[in-house]
C-alpha cells in the first residue's frame, strides 16, 4: 500500500483510502473494499467465481469445455486498458452472434473470461522470446519507450462448446484476432476432473501477480507500475465487475417466446470482473516465454 503514497495521484489516494478501510475497525470489521488490488478480497472473489463456475457448468462434461486465452491488444496508456477490454467484449459477442446466424451448434456456446494485464518496458522487449516479440511488434509497433510500461491486455477463461470442435472455435477467434499466437483454445484435460480443470483455469485467470515474465525469469513490476495500474483499475472498474465477460447460451425455444432465463436480444454479459495468472498447467504458453 505504501507504493500508493509514492504514486501521489488522486486516484492512488482514493485507492489507498479504500484499501485501508478493508477489514478495519472503522466499520466494525465488516467493510470489504472489493478492489482487485486487495489480496484478501481477490482471494474471496476467486473462491466465489470458482463455486459459481462449478454450478454454471454443472450440466457439461469435461469434453464440452475448453480453456481460452486471447491477447487483445497493447497500449502505452494505462487508461486505455478499460476501453480495450470493453471493445473486446463487444467484438467477442459479435463473433458469437455471427456464428449463430449460420451454425446452429453455436447457440450452445458459452464463454466466461477475465481480464488480465501484463506489462513490460522497452528494455524487457529484447529479452522476450521470438513469438512474443513478433506478437507485440504486430500489436504495438511503437513499442520503444524508455520508461515503459506497455500494457498488454489479455482475456483468459472458459469456453463451453457442446457439439463444437475446439479447433473450430480457435479458428473463428483467430480470424477476428489474427497475428502471432494471439488466440489459444485448448480442451480441458481428460485426466483431471471437470472441477479440477475449472479450478485451475479460474486460479490461472484470476491470480493477478504483477510480474513480467522473461524467458525463465519473472520479475515483479516496479512499484510505480503497480500503483499506476491498480489506481486506474480502481477508478475504471466497479470492484471486480468490469473485468469479466460472460456470454450465455442461446435458448432456441425461448427465441420465439422470450424466457426469463436468457436475454436473447443481448446474449451474454452479466457483470464483468478482473483477473490473472498462476503457475497452473497453462503457464508456459501464456507468459512471456518463447514456445519452442
Ligand atoms: Zn479488500
pLDDT of residue 141: 65
Q: Residue 38 Cα, ligand 1 centroid: separation in angstroms?
A: 5
Asked whether residue 8 carries a pLDDT value surpassing 50, the answer given is yes
Residue 23 forms part of a structural domain: no
Q: Residue 64 Cα, ligand 1 centroid: separation in angstroms?
A: 35
Q: pLDDT tens across 204-252, in order?
A: 999 788 888 887 788 889 888 999 999 999 999 888 989 999 999 997 6
| H-run or E-run covering 200 | helix 194-206
Asked whether residue 291 carries a pLDDT value surpassing 50, the answer given is no
Q: Residue 85 Cα, ligand 1 centroid: separation in angstroms?
A: 23
Q: Residue 271 Cα, ligand 1 centroid: separation in angstroms?
A: 19
Residue 15 forms part of a structural domain: no
In the predicted model, what is the mean pLDDT of residues 47-58? 96
pLDDT of residue 132: 87
Q: How many domains does the chain have?
A: 1
For residue 85, give its domain range. 34-250+264-286
Rounded to an integer, what distance in angstroms lies between the CA atom of residue 232 and that of residue 230? 5
The mean of the pLDDT values for the chain is 83
Asked whether residue 266 carries a pLDDT value surpassing 70, the answer given is no
Q: Are 201 and 277 in contact (CB under 8 A)?
A: no
Q: Residue 17 Cα, ligand 1 centroid: separation in angstroms?
A: 11
CA 40, distance to chain mean position in Å, is 19
Each as own residue / partner, the long-range contacts of residues 211-215 (CB below 8 Å, 24 or more positions apart, any chain) are: 211/277, 212/118, 212/119, 212/120, 212/121, 212/124, 212/288, 213/118, 213/287, 213/288, 213/289, 214/120, 214/124, 214/127, 214/128, 214/288, 215/127, 215/128, 215/129, 215/288, 215/289, 215/290
Each as own residue / partner, the long-range contacts of residues 198-201 (CB below 8 Å, 24 or more positions apart, any chain) are: 198/50, 198/53, 198/54, 198/57, 198/65, 198/158, 199/50, 200/278, 200/280, 200/281, 200/282, 201/67, 201/156, 201/157, 201/158, 201/280, 201/282
More confident residue, 179 or 269: 179
pLDDT of residue 110: 97
Residue 256 forms part of a structural domain: no
pLDDT of residue 273: 32
Residue with cell 451448434: 105
Residue 101 forms part of a structural domain: yes
Q: Residue 77 Cα, ligand 1 centroid: separation in angstroms?
A: 26
Q: Residue 269 Cα, ligand 1 centroid: separation in angstroms?
A: 25
Q: Residue 204 Cα, ligand 1 centroid: separation in angstroms?
A: 20
Q: Residue 255 Cα, ligand 1 centroid: separation in angstroms?
A: 41
Closest among 12, 229, 234, 40 to 31, alpha carbons compared: 40
In the predicted model, what is the mean pLDDT of residues 40-66? 95
Number of H helices, E strands in the chain: 10, 7
Rounded to an integer, what distance in angstroms lies between the CA atom of residue 62 and that of residue 141? 39
Q: Residue 160 Cα, ligand 1 centroid: separation in angstroms?
A: 31
Residue 5 forms part of a structural domain: no
Confidence band for 285, pLDDT divided at 50, 70 and 90: very low
Residue 280 forms part of a structural domain: yes
Asked whether residue 188 carries a pLDDT value surpassing 70, the answer given is yes
C-alpha cell of 251? 435458448
Residue 290 DSSP SS3: coil
Residue 269 forms part of a structural domain: yes
C-alpha cell of 72? 487483445
pTM: 0.82
Q: What's the DSSP call for residue 111?
A: E
Asked whether residue 105 carries a pLDDT value surpassing 80, the answer given is yes
Residue 275 forms part of a structural domain: yes
Amino acid at each position: 500500500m505504501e507504493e500508493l503514497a509514492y504514486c501521489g495521484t488522486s486516484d492512488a489516494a482514493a485507492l489507498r483510502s479504500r484499501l485501508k478501510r478493508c477489514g478495519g475497525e472503522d466499520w466494525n470489521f465488516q467493510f470489504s473494499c472489493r478492489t482487485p488490488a486487495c489480496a484478501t478480497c481477490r482471494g474471496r472473489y476467486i473462491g466465489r467465481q470458482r463455486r459459481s463456475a462449478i454450478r454454471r457448468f454443472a450440466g457439461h462434461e469435461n469434453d464440452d469445455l475448453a480453456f481460452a486465452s486471447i491477447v487483445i491488444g497493447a497500449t502505452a496508456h494505462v487508461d486505455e486498458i478499460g476501453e480495450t477490454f470493453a471493445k473486446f467484449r463487444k467484438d467477442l459477442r459479435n463473433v458469437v452472434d455471427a456464428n449463430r446466424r449460420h451454425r446452429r451448434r453455436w447457440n450452445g456456446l458459452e464463454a466466461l473470461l477475465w481480464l488480465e494485464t501484463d506489462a513490460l518496458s522497452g528494455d524487457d522487449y529484447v529479452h522476450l522470446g521470438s513469438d512474443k516479440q513478433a506478437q507485440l511488434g504486430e500489436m504495438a509497433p511503437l513499442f520503444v519507450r524508455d520508461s515503459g510500461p506497455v500494457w498488454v491486455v489479455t482475456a483468459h477463461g472458459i469456453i463451453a462448446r457442446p457439439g463444437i470442435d475446439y479447433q473450430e472455435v480457435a479458428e473463428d477467434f483467430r480470424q477476428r484476432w489474427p497475428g502471432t499466437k494471439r488466440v489459444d483454445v485448448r480442451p480441458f484435460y481428460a485426466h483431471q476432473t471437470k472441477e479440477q480443470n475449472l479450478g485451475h483455469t479460474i486460479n490461472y485467470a484470476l491470480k493477478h501477480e504483477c510480474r513480467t515474465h522473461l524467458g525463465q525469469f519473472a520479475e515483479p513490476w516496479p512499484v510505480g507500475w503497480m500503483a499506476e495500474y491498480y489506481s486506474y483499475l480502481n477508478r475504471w472498474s466497479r470492484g471486480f465487475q468490469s473485468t469479466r465477460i460472460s456470454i450465455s447460451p442461446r435458448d432456441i425455444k425461448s427465441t420465439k417466446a422470450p424466457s426469463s432465463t436468457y436475454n436473447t436480444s443481448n446474449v451474454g454479459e452479466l457483470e464483468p470482473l478482473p483477473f490473472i495468472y498462476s503457475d497452473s498447467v497453462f503457464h508456459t504458453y501464456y507468459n512471456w516465454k518463447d514456445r519452442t
